[in-house]
Amino acid sequence: MTFHSDFDCYGRMVLIRRFEEAVERLFSEGRITGTAHVCIGQEAIAVGMAAAMQPNDAFTSTHRGHGHFLAMGGDPGRMMAEMFGKATGYAYGRAGSQMMSDLSLGFYGANGITAGSMGLACGLALQAQYHNTGRVVVCTIGDGASNEGMFHESLNLAALWHLPLVVVCENNGYAMSTPLSVGLANQSIAARAAAYGITGTAVDGNSLSAVRDAVSLALTQARSGKGLQLVECHTYRLSGHSKGDKREYRSPAEEAAAWENEPLARLAAELEKQYPDAPGRIAQLNQQAAETIAAAIEFAVSSPDPDPSTVCDDLFAPHLPTA
Amino acid sequence: MKTFTATIRDTLAAELRRDPNVFLIGEDIGAYGGAFGVTRGLISEFGPNRIRDTPISEQALIGTAIGAAAAGLRPVAEIMFMDFITLAVDQLTNLAAKLHYIYKLPCPIVVRTPAGGGRGYGATHSQTLERLFTGTPGLHIAAPSTAADASALLQSAIRGATPVIFIEHKLLYPLRWEIGLTLPPPLPFGHANITHSGNNVTVVAWSYMAHLALTAANQLAAEGIGVEVVDLRTLAPLDEETITAAVRKTGRLLIVEEGPKTGGFAGEIAARIFETSYDYLEAPLRRLAGPDTPVPASRTLEAACIPTVETIANAIRELASL
Ligand SMILES: Cc1ncc(C[n+]2csc(CCOP(=O)(O)OP(=O)(O)O)c2C)c(N)n1
Ligand SMILES: [Mg+2]
């Protein structure tokens, strides 16, 4: 997905926000079931990363992946249909919220297992290095995921082999109910880079430009053969961990303060400072986002359920040609 | 009337009160109360030292529980979804299961974990993975289908000397039973329960499938089909004696399992019955299980993957007519 201007970025960020608000609403109305983790407050990271990437680059996501997918060009209608478990969804209803993908967009999938996509990201990067394709892989994880063995094993291996990989940690302050202070012995995730002899940077994850600049630089380094880069983006998860989270582990005052720093309003304010016509353009983008989401829900609702007799289809890939 | 969830919580609280060496360890089990609310409120009575939140580090948390157990504590670990126990299978298989056999160390750990589908959580949050452990000597496995059994088995698991995988089906959590004011006494492992008597078909099941089998048996009684339901309660040790007697009684056996048919524990039971009771079978034994596929998120597709009261009843009817 190409972003020509900050207005493009704003448009995608507000689309993500409206998508996530719709998901929360649809859950509370009982119209979609299962589970979902929304990324309200983290939109600048999703779009900042995507805006820094080149068309052939690849991306791996987490359980909190709707924003990443939309930023990479995911179609809101097919995503919503997947949320509804419909046959027109990205995985015909097999994936649900947590495992959507579109390989044609370089989006190698959300992943329901914490840190579960890191090996996949290393392997995609290994292929890029193997065939010298120039591709770099962006792998997102959360702060909580940095405590899995997989995080440490992957960082060591990718650093050792100079894989063209950028690991972006979305540090939103919490892993479910666990704040950083309860989960991490050293609360700087960027600092862990030193242990693997790589570069680690920490940026304001609610600033679109800060994320885009940091990830751009990391991508350039990784693409030039310098190997693994680690970027930590500080942000805040404004919603609950998943539906049904009453957020009793933090105070309303803390949340209110975090809302003051939310990325969408911040970007709007920046645009309004820079461009006299910004208010009108922003209003138009807001309107478009609302219409797109309404159409996405309409598409999902009017789509057919998957045929239960297809439940065992696609378990194995068809025969692959060999050299 | 008390829910499965509240019964387990009360049992944990009673065990924490009884023995200061008992403590809980897991992800988001403290203030949050666990993903399914089982440990909700316990932290206010027992504090963070005994209701111990961990980083998201399944391997280290299970390994730490094993070490603490070897040194004399009695950890009750929670793995948030059974799907994530895969990250700790090494510690359970290569360490816990061998701790006494090789090192002569006791390993009184209990690993509680919610399992199973039916809630639309998708392929990595809906599995029943007891099959990862049924072939590992040295582990005990509980898979109760009622609140009372869960309480009774959990007590003996916590008080025992053996590592226990304790499976709690997600669909059992909200169900309610008459429990009474005092908890049931501990129940030793290895004792299946005949939850329904009948002369026509024997059904063997465990966990939520045993609950569904009982419902099916009650329905079929009205049709004049007598169903003998064997609720295994524990898979290891396995109460082969009770299963065998129940099969010989009816001459017909259906085994119901939630996970994929291939490689499931139903196959083990079938083989044993074939070895010991072939001559008693009046019809080929049957397995009703999931198809060999991951559990999809869509409700429509998920429903095609898991036995229901209806499919169980149909399988029983068919077997009865042979
Ligand atoms: C292996 C594994 N353990 C636990 C979970 C349950 N879980 C899902 S998301 C989550 C918190 C993840 O925290 P973080 O990495 O900070 O990401 P965030 O949710 O904040 O985006 C947990 C514990 C899981 N899905 N997989
Ligand atoms: Mg987090």
| Distance (Å) from the alpha carbon of A251 to chain B's nearest alpha carbon | 13
The residues pairing with B260 across neighbouring beta strands, listed in sequence order, are B290
Instruction: State the pLDDT confidence band at B131, using cuts at 50, 70 and 90.
Output: very high
pLDDT tens, position by position, A227-239: 999 999 999 999 9
Does residue A205 have its Cβ closer than 6 Å to ligand 1? Answer: no
Nearest CA to ligand 1 atom 19: A175
Per DSSP, the residues of A196-253 read GT-EEEEEETT-HHHHHHHHHHHHHHIIIII--EEEEEE----S-SSTT---TTS-HH
Structure-token pair, residue B66: 């094993």
**SS3 at position B17:** helix
Delineate the domains of chain A, giving CATH numbers in brackets. 6-301 (3.40.50.970)
Q: How far apart are CA B289 and CA B311, in angstroms?
A: 10
One fold for both B2-177 and B193-321? yes
Distance CA(B66)–CA(A77), nearest Å, equals 48
Considering only CA atoms, which of A96, A215, A175 is closest in space to residue B126? A96
CA-based torsion, B275, B280, B284, B289: positive or negative: negative
Concatenating the DSSP letter of every residue in A170-192 gives EE-SEETTEEHHHH-SSS-SGGG
pLDDT at position B147, please?
98
Q: What is the pLDDT of residues B214-258, one digit of tens each?
A: 999 999 999 999 999 999 999 999 999 999 999 999 999 999 999
**What letter does residue A193 receive in the DSSP assignment?**
G
Query: How many residues would you count in chain A?
Result: 323
Q: Which CATH number fits domain B2-177: 1.20.1530.20, 3.40.50.970, 3.40.50.150, 2.60.40.420?
A: 3.40.50.970
Task: For residue A40, give the nearest of A26, A61, A23 by alpha carbon.
Answer: A23
**Which chain B residues are Cβ-neighbours of A90 within 8 angstroms?**
none
Backbone angles phi, psi at A203, to 5 degrees: -135, 165
Res A321: pLDDT: 82
ipTM score over 0.90, yes or no: yes
The first and second tokens of residue A97, run together, are 């919220």
What sign has the CA pseudo-torsion A243, A246, A250, A251?
positive
Quick one: pLDDT at residue B272?
98
Q: Share the mean pLDDT of chain A.
A: 97
Residue B228 annotated to the active site: no
Task: Indicate the DSSP class of residue A107.
Answer: B
- Give B20's contacts (C-beta < 8 A, 6+ positions apart): none
**Res B160 pLDDT > 80:** yes
Kindly list the strands in the beta sheet with B164-169, ordered across the sheet, starting from the edge strand earlier in the chain.
B51-53, B22-26, B74-78, B110-115, B164-169, B140-142, B234-236
Task: Look at phi and psi of residue A123 and say left if phi exceeds 0, alpha if psi is from -120 to 50, else beta.
Answer: alpha
Distances (CA, A) of A282 to A11, A22, A177, A267: 8, 20, 35, 10
Cβ–Cβ < 8 Å for A107, A72: yes
Q: Sign of torsion, CA A115 A119 A121 A122?
A: positive
Res. A323: pLDDT tops 80 = no
Q: Which residues of A touch B173 (CB under 8 A)?
A: none
Q: Show residues of chain A in contact with B32, CB under 8 Å.
A: 176-178, 248-249
User: In this complex, is the C-beta atom of B299 within 8 Å of any C-beta atom belonging to chain A?
Assistant: yes
Question: CA-to-CA distance for B282 and B224, rounded, in angstroms?
Answer: 19
Establish whether residue A175 lines the binding site of ligand 1, counting it when its CB lies within 6 angstroms of any ligand atom: yes
Nearest to residue B51, comparing CAs of B79, B19, B94, B16?
B16
The neighbour count for residue B46, using CB atoms within 10 Å, is 20
Q: For a pLDDT cut of 90, what percent of chain B falls above it? A: 99
Q: Which ligand is nearest to the CA of A37?
A: 1
Q: Decide: A164 in ligand 1 pocket, CB within 6 A.
A: no
Min distance B247 CA to chain A CA atoms (Å) = 32
Annotated catalytic residue B168: no
* Interface with B, mutate which of A178, A245, A246, A307 (most B CBs under 10 A): A178
Q: Write the pLDDT tens digit of every residue in A99-149.
A: 999 999 999 999 999 999 999 999 999 999 999 999 999 999 999 999 999
Phi-psi sector, A314: left (phi>0), alpha (psi -120 to 50), beta: left
Q: Exposed, middle or buried: residue A59 (CB in 10 Å: 0-12, 13-18, 19+)?
A: buried
Please report where in the chains the tokens 């609140």 appear, as a residue.
Answer: B147
Residue A322 pLDDT? 82
Give the distance from residue B295's alpha carbon to the nearest chain A alpha carbon, in angstroms.
Answer: 8
Beta strands in B163-223 (DSSP E): 164-169, 176-177, 193-196, 201-205
- What is the per-residue pLDDT across A146-193, written as a single tens digit (0 to 9) for each? 999 999 999 999 999 999 999 999 999 999 999 999 999 999 999 999
Tokens of A51: 């805006």
DSSP assignment, residue A254?
Answer: H
Distances (CA, A) of B24 to B34, B51, B112, B146, B150: 11, 5, 10, 22, 17
- Residue from A63, A178, A187, A245 whose mutation best tests the ligand 1 pocket (most atoms within 8 A of CB): A63
Given this structure, which CATH class describes domain B193-321?
alpha beta
DSSP element (H, E) containing B255 = strand B253-260
C-alpha pair distances (Å), A203 with each of A48, A170, B54, B190: 12, 10, 27, 56
Residue A183 sits at the chain B interface (C-beta within 8 Å): yes
Whether A107 is in the pocket of ligand 1, judged by its Cβ within 6 Å, is: no
| B79 — pLDDT class (breaks 50, 70, 90) | very high
Q: Is the dihedral of CA A290, A296, A299, A305 positive or negative?
A: negative
Put simply, the answer to whether B31 touches A99 (Cβ < 8 Å) is no
Does the beta-carbon distance from A85 to B122 stay under 8 Å?
no
Ligand 1 neighbourhood includes A177 CB (under 6 angstroms): no
Which chain A positions have a beta carbon within 8 Å of B60's beta carbon? 149
In the predicted model, what is the mean pLDDT of chain B? 98
CA angle A209, A56, A295 (to 5 degrees): 70
Neighbours of A308 (CB within 10 A): 14
- Return the percentage of chain A with pLDDT > 90, whole number: 97
Percentage above 70 pLDDT, chain B = 100
CA B68 to chain centre: 24
Cβ–Cβ contact A259 with B under 8 A: no
B27 lines ligand 1 (CB under 6 A): yes
pLDDT of residue B244: 98
Q: Which residues pair with A232 in a beta bridge?
A: A169, A202
| Domain regions of chain B by residue span | 2-177, 193-321
Q: Does B19 touch chain A (CB under 8 A)?
A: no
Q: What is the mean pLDDT of residues B191-201?
A: 98
Instruction: Assign A102 to helix, strand or coil.
Output: strand
Instruction: Extract the tokens encoding A129.
Output: 């290095």
Which H helix or E strand runs over A169? strand A165-171
pLDDT in tens, A62-105: 999 999 999 999 999 999 999 999 999 999 999 999 999 999 99
- pLDDT, tens digit (0-9, with 9 covering 90-100), for B253-272: 999 999 999 999 999 999 99
Residue written as token pair 């696609």:
A314
Taking the CA atoms of chain B, what radius of gyration do you get in angstroms? 19
Name the minimum distance, in Å, from the CA of A270 to any CA of chain B. Answer: 37
